[in-house]
Amino acid sequence: MTMTTDQTEADRALKAKHRAMWALGDYPAVARDIVGDLGPVLVQASGVGPGERVLDVAAGSGNASIPAAAAGASVIASDLTPELFETGRKAAAKAGVEVDWQQADAEALPYPDASFDTVLSCLGVMFAPHHQAGADELVRVLRPGGTLGLLSWTPDGFIGQMFATMKPYAPAPPPGAQPPPLWGSEDHVRALLGDRVTEVSASRASLVVDEFATPAAFRDYFKANYGPTIAVYRAIADDKEKVAALDRELEALGRRFDRGTSGSSVLDWEYLLLTCERT
User: pLDDT by residue (tens digit) across 68-101?
Assistant: 999 999 999 999 999 999 999 999 999 999 999 9
- The pLDDT of residue 30 is 97
- The pLDDT of residue 12 is 86
- The pLDDT of residue 77 is 98
Percent of the chain with pLDDT over 70: 97
- Phi–psi pair at 105, nearest 5 degrees: -90, 125
**Under-70 pLDDT residues of the chain:** 1-7
- The pLDDT of residue 206 is 98
Cα–Cα distance for residue pair 265/257, rounded to 1 Å: 9
Q: What is the pTM of this model?
A: 0.95
- The pLDDT of residue 231 is 97
- The pLDDT of residue 18 is 94
- The pLDDT of residue 10 is 79
Any idea what DSSP says for residue 127? G
Question: Minimal CA–CA distance to 246: which of 166, 158, 152, 128?
Answer: 166
Question: Minimal CA–CA distance to 225: which of 22, 18, 19?
Answer: 22
- The pLDDT of residue 11 is 81
Q: Would you identify the CATH topology of the domain 5-278?
A: Rossmann fold (3.40.50)
Paired with 205 in beta bridges are 271
CB of 36 closer than 8 Å to CB of 28: no
